A and B are shown apart, each in its own frame.
Chain A
Amino acid sequence: MSIKKKIRREEKISGLIFIAPAMLQFFIFFLIPLLLCIYASFTNWNALSTNRSFVGISNYIRVFQDAKFWKSIGNTIYMLIPIPFYLFFAMLFALACHKKVPGNKVFRVIYYLPYISSIVALVIIWKWIFNPEFGLVNIFLQKFFGIVGPDWLGNPVWTKRMIVIMIIWKLIGPTAIYYLAALKNIPQTYYEAATVDGATSVKQFFSITLPLLTPTTFYLTVVGLIGSMQTFIEIQLFTTDGGRDYGVATIIYYIWQRAFKYNQMAMACAAAILFSILILIITCIQLKLSNKWVYEGE
């Protein structure tokens, strides 16, 4: 009895020691900063002054009254456009790859190339390719369509479109891998039974493949939405000041600029809290809606 107790005790202590580093990280680098952010959002904290006093919800009111904030929300919604496109192309390529074509492995590395490259390097290439005068894209448009290409880097409307194209291009590869894994999990017997029943391959796709891919599509949509809402680094690297008329800036860019360009830490924290609540709400809604269209299995 006492040996058993001793063993249980050893398990408890070892278990806690094993998670100690991870929990240390949670408390010091997540929980404390989070609480600090909430606290600072109710003070007049800025990078320069040391006297901080409580100012109530005035930071939140200032955020709501800021025209730039609302503009950045619009731009953030614009950045959701890539999601259906890369989901579509990823599914298409996954279906093609699933068909055991030659060069399968080489294709996979190539499709992953944009994803594994650093964003700094990608932006450098894209700035060069979309250079209005000497870039490949505009030269191509001129040569094959006789169109004078737009000013991708100077005109905020076109910069946004360019970023959308880039995000689609970048995320097709990793998304396709998810679909490929899901396709491998569909039992071959389903298709065999359908063939016996005389279902065409188109019919098989819509009544077997597509429904069985819905959990994956759902997961990718949730992750994609949260990720797209946080589009930031591209804006930071492509534009100097959020683009002309703040036309490219997203919410995170807005928060970032408030904090590190204008040293308005408190206001940035207020906006950050609002944004985090927004993300939380969207995730909850999605989880609620999921049972309406996700195939749950029998």
Chain B
Amino acid sequence: MKSRKISVSAIIPFALLLIGALTMITPFAWMLSTALKGSKAVYQIPPQWIPNPVDWANFSEIWTSSNLLVGIRNSAFITSIVIIGSTISSSMAAFSFAKMDFPGKRIFFIALLSTMMMPGVVLLIPQFMMYTQFKWIDTLYPLIIPASLGNVSMIFFLRQYMTGLSSELIDAAKIDGCNYFMIYGKIFVPLSKSAIAANTIFIFMNTWNDYLGPALFTNSKNLQTVQVAIASLNSYYAEQTDIPVVMAASLIAIIPVLVLFSICQKYFTESFAMTGIKG
């Protein structure tokens, strides 16, 4: 009697989640289905959910007929530098704000936080004016250098995390003759591993998925990022109406983030729970 009651009470939430999940996944399923069709089967009504015949040609065609490969290469290059640079500089700043005392600490921290209030897109306009003076337009510098110097939300998040770690660790390490760089690198970074991992995924996602920055600051074909390459493929093929090719390219661009996210899901949810939004 009791076990039946439990199963009944789980049915409604499960059904609810299932309906929601179907809503979330249907567009992607349709995307995959379309990517595996020949360009004529696409316009069939009623629509065909399972392509017959399955046409893999689109997935091989995009590598030769588009700029996708160049885009992936550029994005991989930008993303790796930004991740390394940003993770190091953000965690260093976070450690400093959490555990060290120095003049101007409060003001610097408030200054950093205030940047979160400013709409990012709005800043792109004066930045564009500035980069024109720097002769940075149509180079990868605007996409790499600013982001590599740190990420405010990562600094904030890691600071909260590191504040919770014991300060006695520092005193003990000092007695053993460690300086602050060693304390940071050998004690605090290893202890904050999962929090750092969670934030790194965010940075990966934001950099890899960024479209506005690359579209604004670069023009050359050989500097296109993966998102710009797909967007231009889309506008090109929109006239040619070869939709399956565009779908295949978009799917390929989603896969790296999806794989990384699925693997690191644990850190991701943990980090949300840790911040806990205490009000």
Q: Does A152 contact B (CB under 8 A)?
A: no
Q: Does B34 contact A (CB under 8 A)?
A: yes
Residues of A within 8 A of B20 (CB): 89, 93, 107, 111, 172
Residues of A within 8 A of B119 (CB): 229-230, 252, 272, 275-276, 279
Known: A14-B181, A109-B262. 15 other contacts (CB 8 A): A22-B149, A22-B150, A23-B108, A23-B112, A32-B130, A102-B10, A103-B17, A110-B24, A113-B24, A116-B258, A120-B209, A120-B231, A177-B272, A233-B212, A252-B121
A residues 110-139 with Cβ under 8 Å of B? 110-114, 116-121, 124-126, 128-129, 134, 136, 139
Residues of A within 8 A of B12 (CB): 96
CA distance A296 to B278 in the complex (A): 9
Instruction: Known contacts A18-B92, A120-B230, A125-B28; decide if A134 and B122 are in contact (CB<8 Å).
Output: no
Majority secondary structure of chain B interface residues (helix, strand, loop or mixed) = helix
Going nearest first, the 6 A-B pairs with the smallest beta carbon separation are A15-B102, A96-B13, A18-B96, A25-B149, A215-B279, A33-B126
- Whether B125 and A279, one on each chain, are in contact in the complex, defined by CB atoms closer than 8 angstroms, is no
- Whether B125 and A268, one on each chain, are in contact in the complex, defined by CB atoms closer than 8 angstroms, is yes
User: How far, in Å, is A235 (CB) from chain B's closest CB?
Assistant: 11
Residues of B within 8 A of A117 (CB): 28, 209, 254, 257-258
Tally of contacts, chain A with chain B, CB under 8 A: 273
Size bracket, chain B contacts: 35 or more
B230-246 interface bits toward A, Cβ cutoff 8 Å, 1 = contact, 0 = none = 11001000000001001
- Whether B265 and A125, one on each chain, are in contact in the complex, defined by CB atoms closer than 8 angstroms, is no
- Whether B27 and A120, one on each chain, are in contact in the complex, defined by CB atoms closer than 8 angstroms, is no
Name the residue of chain A whose CB is nearest to the CB of B150.
A22
Can you spell out 21 A-B residue pairs with CB atoms less than 8 angstroms apart? Answer: A14-B180, A14-B181, A21-B92, A22-B93, A22-B149, A26-B111, A26-B115, A37-B126, A45-B129, A99-B9, A113-B25, A113-B258, A114-B27, A118-B211, A119-B211, A121-B254, A124-B230, A129-B27, A134-B43, A215-B277, A276-B118
Q: Does A85 contact B (CB under 8 A)?
A: no
- Whether A269 and B272, one on each chain, are in contact in the complex, defined by CB atoms closer than 8 angstroms, is no
Q: Does A181 contact B (CB under 8 A)?
A: yes
Kindly identify which residue among B123, B181, B265 contacts A34, using a CB–CB cutoff of 8 Å. B123
Instruction: Known contacts A32-B130, A134-B43; decide if A22 and B13 are in contact (CB<8 Å).
Output: no
Instruction: Known contacts A92-B16, A107-B17; decide if A18 and B184 are in contact (CB<8 Å).
Output: yes
- Whether A112 and B230, one on each chain, are in contact in the complex, defined by CB atoms closer than 8 angstroms, is no
Instruction: Known contacts A18-B92, A30-B123, A272-B122; decide if A297 and B279 are in contact (CB<8 Å).
Output: yes
CA distance A187 to B42 in the complex (A): 53
User: How far, in Å, is B6 (CB) from chain A's closest CB?
Assistant: 10
Name the residue of chain A whose CB is nearest to the CB of B49.
A136
Kindly identify which residue among B24, B89, B253, B276 contacts A181, using a CB–CB cutoff of 8 Å. B276
A residues 92-108 with Cβ under 8 Å of B? 92-93, 95-97, 99-103, 105, 107-108
CA distance A101 to B149 in the complex (A): 43
From A56-64, A190-198, A254-262, give the one contacting chain B. A254-262
Q: Does A246 contact B (CB under 8 A)?
A: no
Name the residue of chain B whose CB is nearest to the CB of A143.
B46
CA distance A34 to B25 in the complex (A): 41
CA distance A124 to B243 in the complex (A): 9
Instruction: Known contacts A10-B179, A113-B28, A237-B231; decide if A255 and B122 are in contact (CB<8 Å).
Output: yes
Kindly identify which residue among A23, A125, A259 contacts B30, using a CB–CB cutoff of 8 Å. A125
Majority secondary structure of chain A interface residues (helix, strand, loop or mixed) = helix
Kindly identify which residue among B16, B92, B97, B122 contacts A96, using a CB–CB cutoff of 8 Å. B16
- Whether B129 and A279, one on each chain, are in contact in the complex, defined by CB atoms closer than 8 angstroms, is no
Q: Does A24 contact B (CB under 8 A)?
A: yes
CA distance A103 to B22 in the complex (A): 14
Instruction: Known contacts A11-B180, A33-B126, A297-B279; decide if A128 and B257 are in contact (CB<8 Å).
Output: no
- Whether B126 and A181, one on each chain, are in contact in the complex, defined by CB atoms closer than 8 angstroms, is no
Instruction: Known contacts A10-B180, A230-B121; decide if A296 and B30 are in contact (CB<8 Å).
Output: no
- Whether A111 and B30, one on each chain, are in contact in the complex, defined by CB atoms closer than 8 angstroms, is no
Q: Does B100 contact A (CB under 8 A)?
A: yes
Q: Does A156 contact B (CB under 8 A)?
A: no
CA distance A25 to B105 in the complex (A): 16
- Whether B105 and A15, one on each chain, are in contact in the complex, defined by CB atoms closer than 8 angstroms, is yes
CA distance A16 to B100 in the complex (A): 9
User: How far, in Å, is B237 (CB) from chain A's closest CB?
Assistant: 10
Residues of B within 8 A of A11 (CB): 100-102, 180
